[in-house]
Amino acid sequence: MATPMVSGAAALMVQQNPNLTPDEIKARLMKTATKFAAGFSTATDAASGVTYTDEFDIFTVGAGYLNIPAALAKL
């Protein structure tokens, strides 16, 4: 359900400043988002016994919760 919220936020930003590019909109939404802790995943290979750990970044799990007033204030 993030899609309608993000597209609505982008529409508000374009309404406030029609000269924004799609990259500028994305960057401002990501920069002003309220961050959450990075996630981790571990898996152990049954054959070798080796444990692998992976950390999720903002491009895997998202940049955080939208902060629309902050994104609009940056304009």
For the chain, the C-alpha Rg in angstroms (whole number) is 17
Residue by residue, DSSP assigns the chain as -HHHHHHHHHHHHHHH-TT--HHHHHHHHHHHSBP-PPPEEEEE-TTT--EEEEE--HHHH-S-B--HHHHHHT-
Most confident range (mean pLDDT) of 32-36, 55-59, 64-68 is 64-68
> Is the pLDDT reported for residue 11 higher than 80?
yes
User: What is the share, in percent, of the chain residues with pLDDT greater than 90?
Assistant: 60
Look at residue 72 and tell me whether its pLDDT is greater than 90.
yes
Is the per-residue pLDDT at 60 higher than 80? no
For the chain, counts of helices (H) and of strands (E):
4, 2
Which amino acid is present at 38?
A
Q: Which residue has the higher pLDDT, 51 or 41?
A: 51
